[in-house]
Amino acid sequence: MSETRTRTNDGSLDEQLVWEALQTVPDPELPAISVVDMGIIRRIDIDEASSSIRVVITPTFSGCPALSQIQTSIAEKLRSLAKDVEVAVTMQQPWTSDMLSASARQKLSKVGIAPPPHVGRGPLLPMLTQHPLTCPHCGSQQTMLENPFGPTPCRAIAYCQHCHQPFEQFKPI
Amino acid sequence: MEFSDASMVPPDLQQPLSNFLLSLADDEFILGYWDSEWTGVAPTLEEDVACSSIAQDEIGHARLLYQEVAALTGSTPDQVAYDRTLSEYRQVQLVERRRGNWAFTCARRYLYETADQVRLASLTTSTYRPLVEAIGKIEREEVYHQMHSTAWLNRLANGTPTAYQLLTEALRQLWPDALGIFEPFENEDVLLRAGILPVPSAVLEQRWLGDIVPVFERLRLPLPIKKESPAVDSPALYIPTIVARTGGRRGQHSADFTDLWNQMTMVSRMEPGASW
């Protein structure tokens, strides 16, 4: 594991430290991407007096089986910073694929998964049917969504008619 | 008047709200449970993955709503899901039929998903804030289910004569149950007055039929519905020509559900409070 700071220079615990620590917690289904870059951290509350941290996260998909594992790994990581760690789940500001960080998008491309096109907050269906997907291998937009369901809830299977390769698409949602 | 969380709900509303949330959750839970049976035996590998993902989504949606019921009743989502007697479940009969053959599964999915879209869209203005938040999440995920079920309805209807025949047979079996999807909720008048349910079920049913009747006409599929125009300027009224099978919202269920209940609650009955 990478070395993370457990205290700032003046010996205090601040939000920046918690963010740094969370940067090293991977998403269990896409280990190249941290929970921070996935965009699922909603807020961080710190109470230094009682040495407690409360982190609020939101799932990418509501049936995500990795959620409890994510809660556990966040709690384990943060226990080096504070005595009491609580990881709560909220549905406020629900996650959309637009919340992936720029760095997450680059990392997805590197592992051969096409990053999702920007979806905005409008109705999803017209966006899905009218915008072509981009092949991560050759960059062509002569592609088709083969199966909206893939190996994990957040991935779909698409096919490039230009280079004749199937590819995984991170689901726009 | 808006209810920001479970603690804001007055005592006389707690039971109607709790049963209403159970209705929405049980529909998703039971259908998800049956669809999960396709894991490993679906017609193609892609469909295996799709059915498993859809089932996982639906059970996830049910869990979200069971959490809200648990917050209202002081229990846990697991207890709400598994520790109820048969008549305490609130799903409509459409979702509790055995999964049947592939055409039956696809046809039922299409009927359910299209109705669910209409219902979810209407609930985004509910006065119960936790429900609105849950639906903000659920609605976008359901778009993928709708795409999938629409693709299969078209594929079977425009496919081989056998596919068309199996689809029409399935629809004939399904229509009486499908017309029960919008059976009024228990204490619907109370829910409407509180704004928890923004639109009456009867109105939602008309919206739903307005969406799917043109599709069934275009695909030449069984459609036990007649269209009437009450007055020149008023919209068409869709009137069923067969009797709807209802009762699910009042806890009346079919034998198929008894079998499913026996199976899915087995572990919790053998080992109350077990965790895994």
Mean pLDDT across chain B = 95
Clarify whether residues A140 and A85 are in a common domain.
no
Residue at A172: amino acid letter: P
E strand segments, chain B: 225-228, 237-240
User: Which among B142, B36, B218 is positioned nearest to A148, based on CA atoms?
Assistant: B142
Identify the CATH number of the domain in which residue B101 sits: 1.20.1260.10
Residue A20 shares a structural domain with residue A82: yes
**Residues A120-173: tens digit of each pLDDT:** 888 888 888 788 899 998 999 999 988 889 888 888 999 999 999 999 999 999
pLDDT for B246 equals 97
In a domain? residue A41: yes
Chain B partners within 8 Å of A153 (Cβ): 53, 56-57
Mutate to test the interface with B, among A91, A96, A144, A171 (most CBs of B within 10 A): A91
Which pLDDT band, with edges at 50, 70 and 90, does B276 fall under? low
Say whether B147 and A149 touch across the interface (CB within 8 A).
Answer: no
Q: Is-contact A66 A31, C-beta < 8 A?
A: no
Res. A1: pLDDT tops 50: no
Residue B148 at interface with chain A, using a CB cutoff of 8 Å: yes
pLDDT in the model for residue A3: 59
Residues A19 and A85 in one domain: yes
Q: Say if the Cβ atoms of B64 and A91 lie within 8 Å.
A: yes
As a whole number of angstroms, the distance between CA B48 and CA B269 comes to 30
Residues A27 and A83 both lie in one domain: yes
User: A8 in a domain, yes or no?
Assistant: no
**Spatial separation of the C-alpha atoms in residues B244 and A45, rounded to whole Å:** 53
d(CA B117, CA A76): 40
User: pLDDT (tens digit, 9 = 90+) per residue, B144-198?
Assistant: 999 999 999 999 999 999 999 999 999 999 999 999 999 999 999 999 999 999 9
- Is residue A104 included in any domain, yes or no? no
CB nearest B143 (choices: A61, A92, A124): A124
Mean pLDDT of B131-143: 93
Give percent of chain B with pLDDT exceeding 70: 100
d(C-alpha A83, C-alpha A54), whole Å:
11
Question: Does residue A133 sit within a domain?
Answer: yes
pLDDT for the residue numbered A4: 64
Residue A97 belongs to a domain:
no
| CA nearest neighbour of B24 among B178, B218, B208, B248 | B248
Tell me, what's the pLDDT at B274? Answer: 78
Structure confidence at residue A6 (pLDDT): 72
Residue A92 — pLDDT band, cuts 50, 70, 90? Answer: confident
ipTM of the complex: 0.83
Asked if A85 and A148 sit in the same domain, the reply is: no
Write out the residue range of the structural domain in which residue B22 sits: 6-270
Among the listed residues B53, B93, B245, the one whose alpha carbon sits nearest the alpha carbon of residue A157: B53
* Of the candidates B210, B219, B111, the residue with the CA atom closest to the CA atom of residue B155: B219
Mean pLDDT of B120-147: 95
Question: Based on the domain organization, do A117 and A75 belong to the same domain?
Answer: no
Same domain, residue pair A120 and A55: no
Contact B137 A150 (CB under 8 A): no
Using CA atoms, how far apart are residues B32 and A63, in angstroms rounded to an integer? 11
B109 contact A CB<8A: no
With cut-offs at 50, 70 and 90, classify the pLDDT of residue B221. Answer: very high
User: How far apart (Å, rounded) are the C-alpha atoms in residues B146 and A124?
Assistant: 11
Measured CA to CA, the distance from residue B217 to residue B170 in angstroms comes to 17
Report if residue B276 sits inside a domain.
no
Contact residues on chain A for B54, CB-CB shorter than 8 A: 149
Contact B147 A125 (CB under 8 A): yes
- What's the number of domains chain B is made of? 1
Confidence of residue A25 (pLDDT cuts 50, 70, 90): very high
pLDDT band at B87 (very low <50, low <70, confident <90, very high): very high
- The mean pLDDT value for A93-105 works out to 94
> How many separate domains does chain A show?
2
The confidence score (pLDDT) of residue A65 equals 81
Q: How far apart are CA B58 and CA A153, in angstroms?
A: 12
- Please state, for a pLDDT cut of 90, what percent of chain B lies above it: 93
Do A57 and A123 share a domain, yes or no? no
Task: Please list every residue in chain A whose beta carbon sits closer than 8 Å to the beta carbon of residue B141.
Answer: 61-63, 173
- Does the pLDDT value for residue B73 go beyond 80? yes
Chain B residue with CA closest to A171: the answer is B144
| A31 pLDDT more than 80 | yes
Q: What is the pTM of this model?
A: 0.92
How far apart are alpha carbons A85 and A152 in whole angstroms?
28
In B, minimum Cα distance to A64 occurs at B60
Give the Cα-Cα-Cα angle B176, B24, B19 (nearest 5 degrees): 105
Q: Kindly state the tokens that stand for A64.
A: 């995500």
For residues A79 and A25, membership in a common domain is answered with yes
Q: Report the residue count for chain B.
A: 276
Residue closest to B134 by CA, chosen among B75, B71, B192, B67? B67
Tokens 């429900």 belong to B131
Query: The domain containing residue A58 runs over which residues?
Result: 15-89
Pick from A40, A62, A68, A159 the residue to mutate for testing the B interface (most B CBs within 10 Å).
Answer: A62
Backbone angles phi, psi at A54, to 5 degrees: -120, 125
Of B49, B58, B138, the CB nearest to A149: B49
Let me know if residue B275 belongs to a domain. no
Tell me if B237 sits within 8 A of B206, measured CB to CB.
Answer: yes
**Residue A6 placed within a domain:** no
Is B1 contained in some domain? no
Q: Which residue of A has its CA nearest to B121?
A: A123
Mutate to test the interface with B, among A42, A128, A131, A149 (most CBs of B within 10 A): A149
pLDDT digits 0-9 by tens, A66-75: 899 999 999 9
The CATH number of whichever domain residue A82 belongs to comes to 3.30.300.130
